[in-house]
Every structure is written in C-alpha cells, then in structure tokens.
Amino acid sequence: MNPQQPVSYNSSASGGRRGSLVTIVLGILLLVAVIIALQQFLKVQDYKKNTDKKISQAVAAKSQQLQTQAQNAFDAVNTYQYQGSSTYGSVSFRYPKTWSGYVDTTSTSEPINGYFQPGVVPGISGHTAYALRVELLSSDYSQIVQQLQSNVKQGTVTASAYVPPMMNGAANLQPGVLLKGQINSSDSTQNGTMLVIKVRDKTLQISTQSPDYQNDFNNIVLPSLTFAP
C-alpha cells in the first residue's frame, strides 16, 4: 500500500483570487465615491442656481420699487391729476403742471369734454392743435371704430390695438385702438395720436393733436390713464 501523498497548496492561485477580490472591492468603493461626489456637485449647482434666481428676483423687485418711488416723486412735483366722476367710469390721468385745462362736464351725451394746453387754454372755436383733448362720448364704441376705418384705409392714420399700462389685467377690459397720423379727418393740422377705448357703455377718446406734445402724451398721460371698464 502506497503511503499517502502530501497535498500540495497553490499559493499563487489563492493570492490571485484575493487580488481580484480586492480590485473588485476597490472598484465598487471608487464607483460609490464618484456617485456621492456627483450627487454633491449636483446639489451645489442646484443651490447656486436657485440662489442666483432668488438674488435676481430680489434685485428686480428692489429696482421696481425704486422706479415706482422715483415716478411718484416726479408726479408729485411735475404733474396734476384729473379725476373724473365715478358715475362715468372714474376716468383718471396725469398731465404736466405747466398745462392748463378746461373741462365741461354738463352734457349727459358727452360727460367729459376737455381741452388742455400749456399756459392758457385758447378758445375752443379756433383751429388749435391742443396738447391734450379728452372726450367721453355716449356713442357706441364699435360704431366709432367703424367710422375710423375709412381713415385707416385712406392711409391718413395707422391703427393698432392698445391697452393702457395701468389697466393691464383689469377685468372686463376691451383693448382700445391707438391711431397715429391725421387724427381729425376734417383738419389736416391735427397730426398726433389718439386712443379710442370703451369705458362701460361709452367711448373715451383721448389724444394729443400735435407732435410737439407727443412725448408728454406717451410718457405721462397714457401711462397714468385708468378707468372702470
């Protein structure tokens, strides 16, 4: 009977398996570390993005607040406010303090019939191109706009839809029509800008009849115009 042969142990193979296992473990740990680092990076980027957004919103809000304060200060020093009767839609707007105004409110068919001009308002029977003309008419809005279409077709005026800035988002508001050019077809001297817009069951026509007052009309009158639709 042959004596038992000694069992041989392959140390190199065992060491190779241990090395492979260590490599796998290190690889897994490295992958986990990369994932964690990536998650932290994304969190930092998201925080930075949201922070920048909040800062931008805060700056914009502060800028708007300062702009409003500056505008209010300017208005208090440089402009007057016209405030119409609540019975006829509370029409309100601002105009330069250097202007004088004449407003007739005695007619029920034309509750507001106003003329504004620097210095003294000249006689209304003349052919003056007024700095500001305001009329609240009992005539139907659609009929007035239809009548103005002929002027648009003739090319004497251009027309575009318009909503006063202070009236953006107002309920029941119908956009008006902003006309530019010869706004009075019977008087070629009256070249300016006129807004025609519906106020309750009436129609508001507010205009400047001369290019000399266009900046005041664009920057003071129209931006401050409000009424109850």
User: What is d(CA 37, CA 183) in angstroms, rounded to the nearest whole number?
Assistant: 69
**Element of type H or E holding 112:** strand 112-118
Q: What is the pLDDT of residue 163?
A: 97
| Residue that wins the pLDDT comparison between 86 and 6 | 86
pLDDT band at 195 (very low <50, low <70, confident <90, very high): very high
- Both 144 and 212 in one domain: the answer is yes
- Both 97 and 138 in one domain: the answer is yes
For the chain, give the mean pLDDT. Answer: 86
- Both 93 and 58 in one domain: the answer is no
140 pLDDT above the threshold of 80: yes
Q: What is the pLDDT of residue 17?
A: 67
Alpha carbon distances (Å) from 216 to 193, 208, 219, 223: 12, 9, 5, 10
- Among 30, 45, 78, where does a domain finish? 78
- Both 64 and 49 in one domain: the answer is yes
Whole-prediction pTM value?
A: 0.70
- Both 38 and 130 in one domain: the answer is no
6 pLDDT above the threshold of 60: no
| Residue that wins the pLDDT comparison between 120 and 126 | 120
- Both 66 and 111 in one domain: the answer is no
Asked if 68 and 205 touch (Cβ cutoff 8 Å), the reply is no
- Both 99 and 208 in one domain: the answer is yes
Burial class (CB in 10 A: 0-12, 13-18, 19+), 223: middle
Any bridge partners for residue 95, and if so which? 80
Q: How many residues does the chain have?
A: 229
Domain assignment of residue 140, given as a range = 84-224
- Both 68 and 169 in one domain: the answer is no
Q: What is the pLDDT of residue 85?
A: 96
Alpha carbon distances (Å) from 167 to 32, 93, 194, 215, 225: 58, 12, 17, 20, 8
Tell me, what CATH number does 125's domain have?
Answer: 3.40.1000
Asked if 220 and 92 touch (Cβ cutoff 8 Å), the reply is no
Q: What is the pLDDT of residue 13?
A: 58
Nearest Cα neighbor of 166 from 96, 107, 225, 212 is 225
| Residue that wins the pLDDT comparison between 151 and 105 | 105
Neighbours of 24 (CB within 10 A): 10
User: How many domains is the chain partitioned into structurally?
Assistant: 2
